[in-house]
Amino acid sequence: MKRPIVALTAAALLFGTGLGTAFADNAKAAADPAAYSAKALERSEARIAKLKADLKLTPDQEKLWPPVESAMDAFIKQRIERRAHIMEMRGQGGDKNVDILTRINMRGEAMVTSGTAMKQVASAAQPLYATFNDDQKKSFERILRRAEQHRKGDRKAGDKAGSDDGATGTTP
């Protein structure tokens, strides 16, 4: 029973991490958090739409989709806002003046906030996942595996672009 919840929560994480790609696509985005946010949100929305289309939801399942989409969207926006804030701090040189304990505390707060949002995604998605047939479940798992591989590529690209210094823990 927990496996579907973990998978759906992972979907929120995975589809919310167009963040690394959005950052890596344009190194100038580091200087413009607003442009980064817009591009990351656009990519994430496209990924959520693709997930829905690939699942080929039935009319009854369509009725269960809005809470899932809403929870995923809220989670994604939260991550984008956090990343944009970090980018702004870095752009102003503010992160250089933050000591390690403050960074650890900030990261802990971010983890709690993300954890709460992930739980909301899992709760919203449970009724939908319970209606999936075997083909939809297989498709969903395949989509998540591909997204996981893509996310790992995002993280590597983001690290190369300097989007995460490891201390703030901005990538999942």
- Burial (CB < 10 A; 0-12, 13-18, 19+), residue 40, is buried
Which region among 15-19, 52-56, 62-66 has the lowest average model confidence (pLDDT)?
Answer: 15-19
Residue, of 35 and 108, whose pLDDT is higher: 108
Tokens 């000591």 belong to 99
Kindly report, residue by residue over 144-160, the tens digit of the pLDDT.
Answer: 788 777 666 655 554 44
> How far is 44 from 65, CA to CA, in rounded Å?
16
- Give the dihedral of Cα atoms 163, 167, 170, 172; nearest 10 deg: 120
Domain boundaries, the chain: 2-160
Residue, of 33 and 101, whose pLDDT is higher: 101
HEC sequence for 119-144? HHHHHHHHHHHCCCCHHHHHHHHHHH
What's the whole-number mean pLDDT along residues 9-26? 49
Kindly report, residue by residue over 118-148, the tens digit of the pLDDT.
Answer: 899 889 999 999 999 999 988 888 887 887 7
User: Quick one: tokens of 135?
Assistant: 């083909």
